[in-house]
């Protein structure tokens, strides 16, 4: 009972004296307060807690079913693997880390179709904001969010150019002297123009082109941001000298790239495509508009780090709430290694341009935690709790879910002008553990990287893991001197294996994953692994191997890929992925991925160019192939430059 019957007082509550009523109400209010307060001690995953917390506070809440996120990621196969920022064959967006995964129950596009029979939402058909309105809104966001911070944005672009060792575009834009190589480079340039022209004709302002149906695809990966193919293509167009096309892209970014969206985005994908694309466009051209845009966007990503450990969650609302959460398929609300480990390059440059150390601080805090916790056999599992800071599952992969974490370790060292000793130590220690536990040799003599599941090897290698040939070769010179040749050999062997996965298919294009068990050698044994979605990783390794060995076979292998793309992926209105690389008659998936323009064609163009086009002494490529410059702090803070001014662009 709430109260006992008192002498001389009726049992009716109406009979209470005023003082007794006051005591009763005081007791009742205390009880209610206690019950409501207890909600805050419930586990993070309890959704009631979200009702009472500020919208600006990040919550470790997962969203959607596993199937929802697979489509929301990138693949379409069973495992929710990080497939580098992709849209699935069905047109649903999956997440790319150099990999996340992707098959939905109800897609964004299905919802869109219900809204508008023409396939567009009201947001799509609204006229673009004017240039003045866009600029003023961006500047407003910047000024309000930067209050009180050290945000002197007087980055000296001219001094930066003088700190480069060589002109970014080479003496003659990397034009090769060999006629055959030049002809092949021109073919790649024509492919880029064809892909771009069709995107502009049928999907302008959307995220990707659907070449079979000749319309655009938006997807749900970028939180309301549009024009992924435009931002991803800026540097490719500029490097290839397609200036009319570049100027169209620049004008769209200036007038129509609306950063004030209020949607749920992949932190990883927005960072590597939009932040990376805008950064590289700024560094290559000096256009201040790109810098202004990227600084606004960079600030919108910071709330994802508001977790007990500082490990960011994978999904963030780009609107004013800044709430973030983990992927619905990620165990126990965990964050993904390849997602939170693929921020360092871009965030260091955000700090450089803004003179605000908050971005570097965020990614260095990730390093601190990773160095503190125990790693099984020296390996980094793919799932980490952003609440406890502990590993959630002991699944290790150099392909999906893990890949670009390792890539960014060696590239952080190179981008720091070889001063980031911590990144160097972490990279070579990880590579040693990978060699000891994952690198295998097949009965047929092929070297591959298996996956590790709690001590049990899964003898498969994903297309995404084929970037590792390039990763190993760019780090060959900076490890122990006695291991230099070993690293060169390892890189060559991995790249050879990935080439075999292409050459053993009917189309001469490689599958999403290939196996080395049950008699299989570098071939896909599951129907779900047979697709090819215009991925760049194998060609990426060809480019790096060519740059660092000049073995002509890498250019020949690259040309084989060009011929296969032309024969099997080129359709009347663009390029499309295919559903089965082993089929004699191909079935297209109706998607021209934005990374085909950013990575695949750029790496092919560089493969057939002289080495002075974006020389590796001055530039590192982020995981979306956006070139970012080496940071030479001593030069930037001092006087003069490092290369002859007469050769500068």
CA distance 295 to 278: 9
The residues that are catalytic are: 269, 403, 512, 537
Tokens at residue 274, please? Answer: 């939009």
Sole residue written with tokens 């064959």? 89
Residues 184 and 608 sit within 8 Å (Cβ to Cβ)? yes
Residues 349 and 360 sit within 8 Å (Cβ to Cβ)? no
What angle separates helix 344-354 from helix 276-285, to the nearest 10 degrees?
50
Could you please report the per-residue DSSP string of 492-526?
HHHHHHHHHHHHTSSSS---SEEE-STT-SSB--S
Could you please report the per-residue DSSP string of 604-634?
HHHHTS-TTSS-TTTEEE-TT--EEE---HH
Backbone phi and psi for residue 94, each to the nearest 5 degrees, phi listed first: -120, 175
Binding site listing for Ca(2+): 623
99: which strand partners? 83, 96
Q: Quick one: three-class SS letters along 111-156?
A: HHHHHCCCCCCHHHHCCCCCHHHHHHHHHHHHHHHCCCCCCCCCCC
Q: Of 338, 339, 341, which Cα lies nearest the Cα of 325?
A: 339
Binding site listing: 623
Residues 317 and 304 sit within 8 Å (Cβ to Cβ)? no
CA distance 626 to 278: 9
In terms of residues, how long is the chain? Answer: 649
């Amino acid at each position: 009972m709430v109260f006992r019957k008192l002498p001389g007082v009726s049992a009716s509550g109406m009979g209470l004296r005023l003082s007794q009523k006051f005591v009763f109400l005081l007791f009742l209010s205390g009880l209610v307060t206690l019950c409501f307060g207890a909600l805050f001690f419930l586990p993070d995953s309890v959704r009631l807690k979200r009702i009472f917390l500020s919208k600006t506070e990040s919550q470790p809440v997962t969203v959607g079913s596993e199937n929802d996120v697979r489509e929301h990621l990138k693949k379409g196969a069973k495992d929710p693997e990080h497939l580098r920022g992709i849209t699935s064959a069905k047109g649903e967006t999956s997440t790319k880390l150099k990999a996340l995964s992707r098959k939905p129950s109800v897609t964004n596009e299905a919802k869109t179709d219900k809204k508008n029979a023409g396939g567009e939402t009201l947001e799509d058909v609204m006229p673009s904001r004017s240039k003045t309105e866009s600029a003023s809104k961006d500047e407003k966001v910047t000024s309000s969010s930067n209050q009180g911070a050290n945000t002197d944005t007087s980055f000296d672009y001219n001094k930066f150019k003088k700190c480069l060792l060589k002109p970014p575009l080479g003496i003659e834009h990397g034009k090769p002297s060999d006629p055959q190589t030049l002809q092949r480079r021109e073919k790649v340039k024509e492919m880029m123009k064809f892909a771009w022209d069709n995107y502009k004709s049928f999907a302008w302002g959307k995220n990707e082109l659907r070449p079979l149906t000749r319309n655009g695809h938006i997807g749900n990966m970028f939180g309301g941001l549009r024009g992924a193919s435009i931002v991803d293509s800026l540097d490719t167009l500029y490097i290839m000298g397609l200036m009319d096309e570049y100027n169209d892209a620049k004008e769209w970014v200036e007038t129509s790239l609306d950063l004030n969206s209020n949607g749920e985005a992949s932190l990883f994908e927005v960072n590597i495509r939009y932040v990376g694309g805008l950064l590289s466009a700024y560094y290559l051209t000096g256009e201040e508009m790109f810098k202004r845009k990227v600084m606004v966007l960079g600030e919108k990503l910071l709330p994802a780090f508001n977790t007990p450990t500082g490990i960011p969650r994978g999904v963030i609302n780009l609107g004013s709430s800044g709430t973030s959460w983990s992927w619905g398929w990620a165990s126990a609300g965990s964050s993904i290694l390849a997602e939170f480990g693929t921020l360092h390059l871009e965030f260091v440059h955000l700090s450089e341009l803004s003179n605000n150390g908050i971005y570097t601080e965020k990614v260095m805090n990730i390093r601190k935690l990773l160095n503190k916790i125990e790693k099984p056999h020296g390996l980094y599992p793919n799932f980490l709790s952003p609440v406890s800071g502990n590993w959630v599952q002991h699944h290790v992969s150099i392909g999906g879910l893990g890949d670009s974490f390792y890539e960014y370790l060696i590239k952080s060292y190179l981008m720091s002008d070889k001063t980031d000793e911590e990144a160097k130590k972490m990279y070579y220690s990880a590579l040693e553990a990978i060699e000891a536990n994952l690198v295998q040799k097949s009965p047929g003599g092929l070297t591959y990287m298996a996956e590790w599941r709690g001590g049990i090897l899964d003898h498969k290698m994903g297309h995404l893991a084929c970037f590792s040939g390039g990763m190993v070769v760019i780090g060959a010179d900076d490890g122990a001197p006695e291991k230099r040749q070993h690293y060169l050999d390892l890189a060559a062997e991995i790249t050879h294996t990935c080439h075999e996965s292409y050459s053993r298919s009917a189309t001469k294009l490689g599958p999403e994953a290939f196996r080395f068990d049950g008699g299989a050698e570098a071939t896909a044994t599951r129907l779900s692994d047979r697709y090819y979605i215009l991925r760049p990783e194998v060609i990426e390794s060809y480019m790096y191997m060519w740059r660092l060995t000049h073995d002509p076979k890498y250019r020949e292998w690259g040309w084989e890929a060009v011929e296969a793309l032309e024969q099997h992926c080129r359709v009347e209105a663009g390029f499309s992925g295919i559903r089965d690389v082993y089929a004699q008659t191909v079935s297209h998936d109706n998607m021209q991925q934005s990374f085909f323009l950013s990575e695949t064609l750029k790496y092919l163009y560089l493969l057939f160019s002289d080495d002075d086009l974006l020389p590796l002494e001055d530039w590192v490529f982020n995981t979306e192939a956006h070139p970012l410059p080496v940071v030479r702090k001593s030069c930037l803070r001092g006087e003069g430059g490092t290369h002859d001014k007469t050769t500068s662009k």
